[in-house]
Structure 1
């Protein structure tokens, strides 16, 4: 074929083989080049327009506001505080001093504020865009407000601006005033105004007033580096970083400031290190003012709950209506100023401190409070700042109430009271043992075995969750059996304890404690109001049974000193020293309630050590509670405890008793100076199953009180204090007939002033570390503190080092833990942070006839809280740890 024919054939083949393609509808693209360009144009135009508008607003409005408000801090009246009956009790007046010229302010002090608040202060024009951008990036990354971008000039603008609303327009106005300030004043003038105007905690304004308030120095050139850093640390949180109120937090923040000063070249490294190490200990001159402790607490609550800053409150012209009762608050304050109500201190280093909180359980309102003796304005408050071991005061909350709530127990239930171990945890009783004991008697006598046994029966988590439900802050590490005896790692305070007990007093309903009923602003508008919605935490029947049993504690138990002319229910708590061979106490408590009010009292040293311990036990706190509540309740209508409409609780019928019960004879008492123990002995009565009850009276006391119970014919009192004289007697108790004999003859003993040092224990490993005067790490503690009690104290010789394995075996039939002679087992000592757990007694301890290994000392934790509690797997004594 020719080339033409081949070409034609191929074209024909292509025509016949190709098929027509279906037509597709073209989609229009939404983002065309044209649309993108127009969008960018309008966005740019809008941005330029907004920028111009913003610029005009900043320039014109800022200048106008600055001229109108120059040299002004507020146009409102002072904020006023009222009691529950709307009586004025105080005002938030300013504490100011004469302004300081810039040339009289040390350059290093200025540098401290620049380094901390605005390191580009001398470079920007009022607004630091770089800082704002950096803060925005960090906020976005953290998904929260973690860093601010305000300059020193902007902070000054806030103080000049009058309104307290927190809106975008307020922030924009702040910026506009800052720019206007920079236009009209030099950097030095702005810094001078800033330092003379800003708040330094409470009602203290200005750098000179702050220097006088916190350091007693009116000449700023006398300030040391650490003092300058302390002041520069405060603007971020004037209340939080107040060195008088929160010295530890102030020190932490001061360290940050010093680091910034070093990083930016203002101080040398040796200067930084030296300044970081200084502890704040300045005590300002006393300024006594009624109700100051309550006013400070209410102001703190306004800040924390309602978001008002101290500055807002100081210049906002608010009216704060509180729940305070004037008579009750005055009674508490007067009691705290009377030194006769407190144990005399052992030296001039520390005084015995205290705390008390009273709550109206019907509405949750705080009636009165006091955070310490010699309380200063905005000072350290032990009402909520200090946390201490509650001892046996926690037993009703962690063991007895949740057991009743389970429905498996009643107040007449028989609980195990035999000497026993729960795994490696071996608590002990002070009053001896029996096969069983009623729940009511167990609470009245504050026995330890029944509380631990009961918590083990209902489950540790059940008790743990019940305590948390009543408002006491526990940590997960507290989930162990030592919790039954007060073993809480972070401790608690009188506010939490009073709030928790108020649920018993209020028929099982709990209201969160509060001090502010309402707040009105300067226009008279109510801006905040308390929410008093109750929460049921237990049944009415449980609350009633607990009240019935805890009334017996006050009638004839460890809380007899708290009796007043109204019905009272309550519980004592004592946290012993934690030092081997020392029977004194760290903390004493009484938490109780009448049908009207609930109150908690704590007493102790802020920094307990071997020298600073209480000789008295919980009756000291109970007596204080009774004295205050008797007078505080004057004029308050008397009520009765609430009782459920129907109470189905089985009660035991009284058992007929024999006509006679043989009196114990041959009772004798003798003091052994080598062991610092009063040894007691008597002849046995010819009846099996008899329990002997020992009673003691110090000669200054009017009546005898129960000391301990035992089934043997001898015992020892190691809680007798040097220089005092005691009288003792013993009775025979017949459990089956519930009959107690007449008292034996009385024996008197005088305790020597200078007790001899006991001989060293040959079982002690000389390689073990020796204790220091610091607070010993401690943990779960119970009322009657058999941790070191018992016939022999071998239990304490099993390693109390906290971090080292137990390596010393105890001797004898110890009550401190261990199993008849093996005090050490494999225990971990006294707590997660080391140390022997403190012992708790209400009343005092049983005898110890052999010296014990001293506990390993550890650093104190959580503002005086004594150590942390061990898990149930570690060896533990009753309120503590098995040696």
Structure 2
């Protein structure tokens, strides 16, 4: 029995060895099979077994929707057209601290791996992701570019494998810097901020990512984890904590010091939110004009042919075009501020006067006439169009305008959440006075500022380019210019103020005569042309028209760029015609440009995403009147601001009306040469002011949406009160900005001027001549 024991032990040892060998073989077979399976999975993924994979050409040119940029003349991006608001940047445009924050937070071994971080993947597998994920920046880019979301575990596994394959291909095809740049250009930061460039502008008002501060860059990097969760507009405290985590990671990897980290973490979030929706930001009315212009341009300028030989057109929302415009972002800002400042105050006075108006916001109308206005507004409303598209009947649509609904409405103190019927909202919006401003360089035609209304979100109608309104006395310079050009009249020539009767035709068997009246009912004595234009004396304008006829005046206006209909009738002497503000500014600029009309220019060039010029504007100019006639007309209009309706530019606001809280003291007191003309239409429906300095012509219109919406008298309803203050505020701001170089010089006098403009010398010489004639007759 004693000998049997060792034999038993020997058999056990041998069996154990065999089992170990089997285990080792099984392990290596399993391991090798796993490796082969992984390799096979990668091969299958690369062959497209798990879904279509990007081709090599697609990797070279990953398709991004690129926003079309609108760039001002001073190099500022003032707007975009986009499906995705993405403005691509190069690596060189990224600040180093943004790059450091990204690497420290998202992929610390970014520069050491080839698309897949083995250590990170193993850690994520062992700890099931509790100690961080394993996705590298290359994998995250692969997911953004070529793979979508996953609905179940199997799909997620397939997607992950595809991401690994694509990431390694990206690493072979691109440099690390290029991959990082593509990732930052692609990421959706929410609130229409696609890519780091848009995010820099929208969240921090930085025109270039290079201008981001460290703490601002940390906010954007923090959002990369999940921008929906870390949305700074909805969860600022959470975003701040996330920002501080990014700063801690930067300190951990020695990109910043502990002292810097502690200091930066104490700072507030520091958002400067500047939304870039199609109706947000600056120059909204101008951008809508550009959109309309571009929509026509792309149809007339195909970019090439497709494989089938069909024409292919540019897409302004996806092709990343660059539209270079003439607008100056600084002048545009000042123009918008001037309109807002004046109109908010003018509206207060209007509302105060409307308290005792039973038909507010209309005057001098019956209930039936008011009902007709409301019905007309309903018929032309966007709400009616939407309901028609939904198949609603007219009766259902009309009934819906009496149903109360939640809505946001405009006010000068900000949007108001309220409940009212759509019909009541029509009346509510009718009470607001509207305004338009356009500013242009006479010599180049470049439009520098364009304000089409008081708020494009709530008032879409553009009063620069769309709206034609009665121009009143601002048409009189065309009358005077025609007379000067044809008859060589001097500003010092005098005409009687007495009433004149001008036959204008017949109505049936009754002869019709036109007998204009002066606003002050003064018809005594004589007045020279300079004083007559300054005081806007109607009978003098009528006498000039009687000498030259209405047709030459209408022709002159047309040569100066007016395309709206002008009937050659006697009443145009007093401005009975309806014109657009853009036409008026273009025409008035002719006087400042020595009689040469230059067509207003809004777009100077268009480039594709590679910088290739697709369009270059060609100036359109033509001689209209002589240099002498243009200068004399300018001299006449200088009299308006020296002794006429524009004198408050020299003396400040009237005692009856002042702009509060705009600047310290009076906002006026200009002492430089200014040519100008006010205009006021019947019933104070429209107020105009056209103001010119040697290198800038600016027009302003103010009025109600309907002509029945107006002030009750001329104290506030005249152009000098309604429109002139906007011009004054705008020009004050422009002059304060010395970088703009807006001229304060005198208008250039042509050589060998034959028409006398110095009325003192003119009177003295005429007196001497009269004495000589008396002596000769004796």
Return the TM-score normalized by structure 2.
0.47
